[in-house]
Amino acid sequence: MNLIENHIYHVYNRGNNRQPIFFSDDNFKYFVRKMRTHLLPVCDLLAYCLMPNHFHLLVKANRKSIEVISPKSGPVSIQAFSRGIQIMLSSYTRAIHKQEKLTGSLFQQRTCAKQVSSEFYFEDYSLTCFCYILNNPVAAGLVNDPSEWLYSSYYELAHSVNDPLCNPANIYRDLSIKWENDAGMINTPISDTEILQLF
């Protein structure tokens, strides 16, 4: 994963062999705390959705995201955002292994990051990705309305949760939408062609 400053990325991963990664409400909440600890210091988080066997993030790379961290041993350096993802997923995996008495990989080996922003308007899929991520629980048949899914930034913003992970000012700055006026656009259908651009 090699991010470019000021670009927006769809970051996602799922359970190895599509297995569940969340087994209880407490697991979802624990993952959110991990995001706050390991991701917020190294990116601007614009949207997230945690699903039973996968997760989606929409992040904007900032100066801190692309800082290169040299390892204590070995020749490979890594960007701060990638290191944050690694630490978050490995520490979460250890907790789930202990809880569920599991072994082996919880997540697929590689977390993907697809750039969805572009300097060309017709190639910029940032807003489409934002809508796709937040409508994911509806598309999966888990809820009828995205505001009902507890484990997403849609829920946080729709219910005015204190200290949300995604700052509404950043959403407005980077996606040119105001939550209080434009939240309804999340339910706008996304074409198969557009979805292909997000992965």
109-143: pLDDT as tens digits: 899 999 999 888 778 899 999 999 999 999 999 99
Q: How confident is the model at residue 99 (pLDDT cuts 50, 70, 90)?
A: very high
Beta bridge partners of 107: 15
- Write down how long the chain is: 199
Comparing 34-43, 67-76, 89-98, the range with the smallest average pLDDT is 67-76
Beta bridge partners of 55: 13, 50
- Residue 183's pLDDT is 64
Per-residue pLDDT for 75 more than 70? no
Per-residue pLDDT for 182 more than 70? no
Give me the residue label for tokens 């988080």.
45
Q: Are 12 and 54 in contact (CB under 8 A)?
A: yes
Alpha-helical regions (H) of 39-175? 80-100, 126-139, 153-158, 168-175
- Residue 134's pLDDT is 93
Give the mean model confidence (pLDDT) for residues 90-113.
94
- Which domains occur in the chain, in start order? 8-196 (3.30.70.1290)
Per-residue pLDDT for 184 more than 80? no
The helices-and-strands tally (H runs, E runs) of the chain is: 7, 6
Confirm whether pTM is higher than 0.85.
yes
Per-residue pLDDT for 20 more than 90? yes
- Residue 170's pLDDT is 93
Counting residues of the chain whose pLDDT is more than 90, the rounded percentage is 68
CB neighbours of 95 closer than 8 A, spacing ≥ 6? 30
